[in-house]
Amino acid sequence: MENDTKSYMRPTRLNRLPETLRLELKQARLKRGWSQLELGRRAGLPQVHISAIETGKTVPRFDTLLDLVRVLDRDLVLVPRELVPAVQALIRDYRRTAGEGTDEDHARPLYAEDDTDESGSAPE
């Protein structure tokens, strides 16, 4: 079978999930009142693995991420890039009416590359 990957597309391997996505997972867990152990039990993962994902020490496989997201009553959705601002606006409006945060808290897309290290400063 011939590889039909476009030559201009190079595979990207994340060394950690973007901070915004990790925080979203953690906040969804905490909103339910679940410990890492409880989330792990429901997703079939050890607590230490949940901790490593939330802290960015481990990048989960796609199927593991999908399991976590679904256990937390969320979903991963492919959205055409030109619609991302509209989807983000819907999410911000929903959270604002639900009392879940401010626009500033959720202004970046969940999948955005994180240009800062864990301390919040830009890499040199």
Residue 65 has which token pair?
A: 């991420």
The dihedrals phi and psi of 57, each to the nearest 5 degrees, come to -80, -20
Counting beta carbons within 10 angstroms of the beta carbon of residue 77, is it exposed (0 to 12), middle (13 to 18) or buried (19 or more)? exposed
At 107, list the tokens.
């202004």
Residue 14: pLDDT above 80? no
In sequence order, what are the residues at sequence separation of 6 or more whose Cβ sits closer than 8 angstroms to the Cβ of residue 111?
18, 21
Q: What is the pLDDT of residue 106?
A: 45
What pLDDT score was predicted for residue 77? 87
Structural domains of the chain in order of their starting residue, each with its CATH number: 15-76 (1.10.260.40), 77-110 (no CATH)
Over residues 26-56, the pLDDT tens digits come to 999 999 999 999 999 999 999 999 999 999 9
